[in-house]
Amino acid sequence: MNIHILTVPNEEIKVRKGFTGADWWWDDAGDLQVRVAAELTDWREAMALAMHESAEALMCKHNGVTVGQVDEFDAKFKDGHEIDVNAGDESDSPYKLEHTYATAIERVLTGVLGVDWKEYDTRLGKL
């Protein structure tokens, strides 16, 4: 298994699911594909988000949560929410545990790299 992390324009991320900022999936070769919005021009922010996505995907794989389950939940969630909230934080999310741990990893990494969480989170919300 390989992990492919790419920064791409946010518009490319929207194509797969309609969400913005970042995305992950397993390709036909079994490799993890992670995409992070190139609009995050600070490498520390882009990589913190990439590590969140990677950790979430790996934990989902380990716990038997499929990309299909995540995508289906995200699509339903997106249709019912106009405000900036994360589907993975919802109590009925099939990947709540994985998302929660991935966010913890992301927060630790931003702290170590000297990224202000509130400013970073605000930038993510504007994507």
Locate the domains of the chain by residue range: 3-125
Identify whether the C-beta of residue 111 lies closer than 8 Å to the C-beta of residue 105: no
Q: Six-digit token pair at 62?
A: 């380990």
pLDDT at 116: 97
Q: Give the residue with greater pLDDT, 120 vs 87.
A: 120
Measured between alpha carbons, how far is 62 from 84 in angstroms, rounded to an integer?
28
Q: Residue written as tokens 């990494």?
A: 109
Query: Which CB contacts under 8 angstroms, 24+ apart, belong to 86-89?
Result: 88/56
Query: In one letter, which amino acid is 127?
Result: L
pTM given for the model? 0.89
Determine the Cα–Cα distance for residues 113 and 116; give it in Å rounded to an integer: 9
Residues in the chain: 127
Take residue 68 and report the two structure tokens written for it.
Answer: 């299909």
Note the pLDDT of residue 83. 47
**Plot region of 79 (φ>0 → left; ψ -120 to 50 → alpha; else → beta):** alpha
pLDDT in tens, 30-88: 999 999 999 999 999 999 999 999 999 999 999 999 999 988 887 776 665 554 557 66
Cα–Cα distance for residue pair 122/98, rounded to 1 Å: 22
How far the first Cα of the chain sits from its last, in Å, is 30
